Structure 1
């Protein structure tokens, strides 16, 4: 084998290639899990190191502050349970002046007494003048659906009599539903007070009265004549006739006695005895009552005619009594009334809406729920608030039936109390909030916020009294009363229960 030249580099023997490393896929399987775990461990270590470097140790952290109690003071107040509603301020019972003018002979022209807006109309006062005649306001619910005259009867007559009685005018028997002479006389008085002459009866009625008066006068003359005849027939003979008859009896007796003394024949004596009996019989006739049957029959007939004439005169007079014309009266359910609107003008024709009337007093007209209405009665006090925050007083007038067809609501009417007219006029047409107390404490009581009450282990009521100076708190048992408006009446013997003491209402 030849020797290698030391100056010549000898090539190294070729090395076998290193074995190829196995690549583990990192996107799935155990490789991914290992990678994620490693990163997490490294991140945790780094975080701990940085945390110790930046933040103070846990031993140096201050304790968290305790939550402070929320307190409220005890108060002395009147606690009331109330019902709240809304109501419109309005005049009561607005109505239009609808008048039955069918009885008028001509057009219903307004001739005077046109009222002014704001005027007050009371009972027996004239609302307006139509065709020279008044329209008089009277209290009542029934409309004047017909004119009333003597002999008429019905509920409208009773209403008229009741209205007259309320005015201090006597219409006769107010329970009798017949329009009679006393009723007509009362209507005369009504018109006298109104300042107008009473309505006149018809010309035919007046003529009938005149004819009946003449018939009664004629009948009275006939009765007088018949009565004179009866009296004359019943008077009998005069005293002179009786004396003459007595003398005739005595003369006949004397003649008989003289003949007997002279011894006249028996035939002559018998004749003279017959003359004596005849004279006595004639004298006896004068003592009997006279026969006046014919004259009495004439008198009875005359009296019957007179009675008939007087009855006819009564009927004629009744027909001519003062009537009450339907066009001259307007019944209103309540009086006085206030004139709200006037469209009528003197010289114009009366229309149904010529004058609009309402109650003279303002009321509150609202609604409440049916359930709340069960707690309300007429006469119950209430209050309402004005726009400027003033609280005014009211009283419930009426709790009605369904409001506007809603079976879940009830109508509610209230009357303001002690409120001047100027204030009410300013409130008219506005909607106000009404509060009605349905239960109340008897004066001021010690009251706590409802949130201050807690229940003890045996169910007793408690409050926690907080001493703000010392920060101490004490739980005190209390007896509760009425609760309303977020407050509850409390009672207890603990001296710490006093107005101004603070109680815990929250943490």
Structure 2
């Protein structure tokens, strides 16, 4: 008997037959088993036994933080603020105009003096006998000297201001001849005349009564030479013997500065401005630096200590030396007035401070003018190298003993009793008690 198959699917299963359905269910069951197996594996990762959960949440084993024992000179580092100031200054404020030609009739007083030239600016350094500002075509210049120019100097004048002028003239290479020191004679007059000529100006003149036939370079008697010198426009007093013109040095045209070149503090005028006050201000000395030290650190700073100065605003460093350490200043209590020892009355700290004067190595960089700066001073607290540990390594027990805990290379710990000494910059000097040792590079516990 031969097999018979439906004509449309020879040799195959009949659609919808029992065999086809069995095959489909077998495939579905296999896929479901695979999915259930994978889900079980994934879910198993999140299942924890109570013991395992407790182990995972237990705090880790405590560890210690250590630091090395060092042997070095102990040093204190103080960082505080300071400010530069001009210190003492001197200004030129012209009040009248000298004449350069003899006159016989009084001249009319001008309505106002006018600035006719400005040849420098603030921050510059200027030398001796150089025109700085010009008013009514007359120069204002500086000469070296500490005594103030408080009067006009002319023939026959005597005094220490004349002696100062003579020294200044000689420093410029202008000899004063045979004039005695402190006496304005013909040699001094000639030197003044040559100084003005070198600046490009005619020498100022004044007039005096004279009964003789003396000329500008005659000495004559002191009484005859002193005469009646005038300031305003060089006007002459009538005299039966006639006026005699002599060289003078007007107080309105010169300022004496102790050290040259001097720094220009300010030039508050422009060409064409009326002269109503100072036309130029010069620093009598170099800039001064005053630091405002915390009173608690007063004993850590002394004269001669080295200082590092940093102006953060301009990124400029300089080295200096402590010149002096002043007395405690407490603003608002009457001891905060400016003085050479105190410095400014209102320090940036706003509270009590100790003024520290810092001198530079040479001349301060002009960029430091009016700058607020950071001052760092490092001072030795011990004269030799000592054994030291971080302050956090020292512990005190109930029995008042101080100890440090040393950790060996194997991790073992042992306590070393010590006595403490000087503290500086976070370190403290320690000395192990008898029978114990503590060496540099040992490691001590500073925390956990």
Please say whether Structure 1 and Structure 2 have the same fold, judged by a TM-score greater than 0.5.
yes
Contact 2:155/2:225, CA 8 A, preserved across alignment: no
Residue 21 of structure 1 is matched in structure 2 by none
| 1:244 paired residue number | none
Secondary structure at 1:327's aligned position in 2?
A: coil
Q: Check conservation: 1:78, 1:442, Cα contact below 8 A.
A: yes
Say if 2:406 is the partner of 1:401: no
CA offset at residue 90 of structure 1?
A: 4.7
1:196 equivalent to 2:201? Answer: yes
Q: Is the 8 Å Cα contact of residues 179 and 185 (structure 2) preserved in structure 1?
A: no
Alignment of 1:387 onto 2:312: yes
TM-score by length of 1: 0.53
CA contact (8 A) 1:465 1:476 kept: no
Structure 1 counterpart of 2:393: 452
Change in 2 beyond 3 A, CA 1:372/1:122: farther
Unaligned runs of 5+ in 2: 1-49, 52-58, 100-108, 228-244, 327-339
Structure 2 residue aligned with 1:216: none
Corresponding residue number in structure 2 for 1:119: 124
CA distance in 1, matches of 2:176, 2:437: 74
Q: Following the alignment from structure 2 to structure 1, what is the Cα–Cα distance between the partners of residues 190 and 379?
A: 52
Partners of 1:420 and 1:156 in 2: CA distance: 30
Offset from partner CA, 1:435-473 (integer Å, 9 cap, x none): 334435568765421333467999997543212533232
Q: Secondary structure, in 3 states, of the residue corresponding to 2:376?
A: strand
Q: Which residue is 1:504 aligned to? A: 445
Whole-Å Cα distance in 1 between the matches of residues 256 and 86 of structure 2?
18
Is the 8 Å Cα contact of residues 65 and 446 (structure 2) preserved in structure 1?
A: yes
How many aligned positions are there? 343
Match of residue 156, structure 1, among 135, 158, 161: 161
Taking a change above 3 Å as real, the CA distance of residues 357 and 416 of structure 1, as seen in their structure-2 partners, is same
Specify the alignment match of 1:485 in structure 2. Answer: 425
Q: Which has the higher contact order (CA 8 A, sep 6+)?
A: 1
| CA-CA distance at 1:144 after TM superposition | 2.0
| Matching residue of 1:73 | 68
> Structure 1: which 5+ runs fail to align?
1-54, 57-63, 214-309
RMSD: 4.7
Label 1:411 to 1:201 Cα distance change in 2 as closer, same or farther (>3 A): same
- The match for 1:39 is none
Q: Measured at CA, do residues 415 and 312 of structure 1 come closer, stay the same or move farther in structure 2, by a change above 3 Å?
A: closer
Structure 1 residue matching 2:206: 3-state secondary structure: coil
CA–CA separation in structure 2 for the residues paired with 1:314 and 1:353: 34
What is the alpha-carbon distance in structure 2 between the residues aligned to residue 330 and residue 123 of structure 1?
10
1:431 to 372, 377, 384: 372
Q: Structure 1's 142 and 375: CA in aligned 2 closer, same or farther, altered over 3 A?
A: farther
Instruction: Measure, in 1, the Cα distance between the counterparts of 2:74 and 2:297.
Output: 19
Is the CA contact 1:85–1:366 (under 8 Å) kept in the aligned structure 2?
yes
Cα distance in 2 for residues equivalent to 1:396 and 1:165: 36
- Report the more deviating stretch, 114-123 or 363-372: 363-372
Residues 204-223 of structure 1 aligned to structure 2 (within 5 Å): 204=208, 211-212=213-214
Q: Name the structure with the higher strand share.
A: 2
1:364 corresponds to: 289
Query: Structure 2-normalised TM-score?
Result: 0.59
Find the counterpart in structure 1 of residue 80 from structure 2: 85
Cα gap change, 1:372 to 1:123, in 2 (>3 Å): farther
- In the alignment, what sits opposite 1:465? 406
Q: 1:183 to 1:411 in 2, by over 3 A?
A: farther
Larger C-alpha radius of gyration, 1 or 2? 1
TM superposition shift of 1:314: 7.7
Match of 1:382, SS state, is strand
**Which structure has greater helix proportion?**
1
* Cα contact 1:158–1:174 (8 A) shared by 2: no
CA apart distance, 1:318:
6.9
Shift of the 402–413 alpha-carbon distance from structure 1 to 2, 3 Å rule, reads closer
1:181-207 deviation per Cα after TM superposition (whole angstroms, max 9, x unaligned) = 4443443454354343332232x55x7
- Supply the distance in 1 between the matched residues of 2:391 and 2:205 (Cα, whole angstroms): 77
3-state SS of 1:201 partner: strand
Q: SS of 2:132's equivalent?
A: strand
Give 3-state SS (helix, strand or coil) of 1:79's partner: strand
- CA–CA separation in structure 2 for the residues paired with 1:344 and 1:127: 12
- Residue 326 of structure 1 and its aligned partner are, at CA, apart by 0.7
* C-alpha contact 1:89 1:363 (8 A) present in aligned 2: yes
Cα distance in 2, alignment partners of residues 402 and 157 from structure 1? 34
Distance, in Å, in 2 between the alignment partners of 1:312 and 1:175 is 14
The question of whether the paired residues in 2 share the 8 Å contact of 1:82 and 1:437 is answered with: yes
| 8 Å contact from structure 1 (residues 100, 145) kept in 2 | no
The structural deviation recorded for 1:147 is 0.3
Equivalent residues of 1:101, 1:326 under 8 A apart: no
> How far 1:485 moved relative to its partner?
1.5
